[in-house]
Amino acid sequence: MAEESKSSGIIKSALTRAQLLIVIGTFLLSISAGFVGGWLGASSQQRQSGTIDTSQARQLVLNESQAISNIAKEVGQSVVSVNVISETTATDFFGFGRSITQASAGTGFIISEDGIVLTNRHVIPEGAGQVSVTLSDGTELEDVEVIGRTNSSDPLDIAFLKIKDAKGKQLKPAQLGESAQVEVGSRVIAIGNALGQFQNTVTTGVLSGYGRSVEAYEEGGAETLQNLFQTDAAINQGNSGGPLVDIHGQVIAINTAVVAGGAENIGFAIPIDDAKGLIASVLETGKLQRPYLGVRYVQVTDDYAYEYNLSVKRGAYIVPAQPGQPSILQDSPAAKAGLKEKDIITKVAGETIDEKRSLVSLIGRHKVGEEVTLTVVRDGREQEVKVKLEAAPEN
């Protein structure tokens, strides 16, 4: 009986251990299944989430592409190709001068319903003989007058044309924006007559920088262009004078130059705000009158302020006179207003001179005959000087 009882106890103990192992195994299996199920569910959700993100990204690209296409169609109606035939004199092998005819092309855009066109000065060479424009629909208009162009030493590379006979075509002016509101990284679109052959070519990019100064070669000499926008939107020869527009289809700059010598995706454009004073003058009077101050200055930077121990770090410093180079031109608006060498002009009509805005660009936003207030630092003290702007002399 004792052996039977002992044997029975062993069997019960074995059964108990087996049951316990089954319970433990079942518990572990359920936990594993939970982990596996959770992992599969998470993986499925990630795949589904990835599909949604890809779809959203694709839709964003499509929306942007459609927006750019719409802008190109809308603004493109205001863009014209500018065709120029000019006479120049060339010297042959024997030293005799002979007249030759040259053809060139650029871009412009309509700024008024009565046919005023804005373009670059270098698109219209000095003494251009014949100028015509081609509308976006291919219509060539030959009765075109050159209203005027800034002089070759002016850092603002601007010229105006007038379409005198539109052949019954309704001219659509471009909508002008505010270049001061554009930020680095903003999407921009350039439209122009690329290489003088491909009308209304559209390229896109971003605003890469502002306040740039570059050396441009024009009419046999080098000129400094100031306060330019930099963009990576492709700007090629022939694009000059065309509009650089924002995502709202408003012109925020005038395509002007591209870096030569192997650089890629570096183009420059004149902020439209810098030309608004001239635009208003031309639209009101039909004449190009460039307001000027009449000083020689340098743009103040941190380094320049430190080197010359200046009391401010931003502004236009009127440099001391040198032989043949006066600091203030005789009988100029600056001379009449009492400006002096070593004055630092910090504001024009309340607008601060800084990396975005040079003295020339701020003066250019006003009209001939307008009185503006300059904020000037003289001998460390700030004061205000009123000056009446006059038309810049031809030379």
Q: What angle (nearest 5°) sits at the alpha carbon of residue 228, between those of residues 226 and 230?
A: 140
Name the active-site residue from 122, 136, 246, 358: 122
Q: Is residue 206 a contact partner of residue 275, using CB atoms and an 8 Å limit?
A: no
The Cα 91–Cα 281 span in angstroms is: 40
Identify whether 303 is a catalytic site residue. no
Catalytic residue among 78, 81, 136, 240: 240
C-alpha–C-alpha distance, residues 50 and 41, integer Å: 14
Question: Partners of 222 in the beta sheet?
Answer: 217
* DSSP calls for 47-101: HHHHHHHHHHHHHHHHHHHHHHHHHHHHHHTTEEEEEEEEEEEEE-TTS-EEEEE
Q: Looking at 78, 136, 157, 208, which residue is catalytic?
A: 157
122 labelled catalytic: yes
* Dihedral angle of Cα 280, 282, 285, 286, to the nearest 10 degrees: -160
To the query of whether residue 248 is one of the catalytic residues in this protein, the response is: no
Q: Supply 30's token pair.
A: 């359920």
* 5 contact partners, CB below 8 Å, separation of at least 6: none
What residues act catalytically?
A: 122, 157, 240
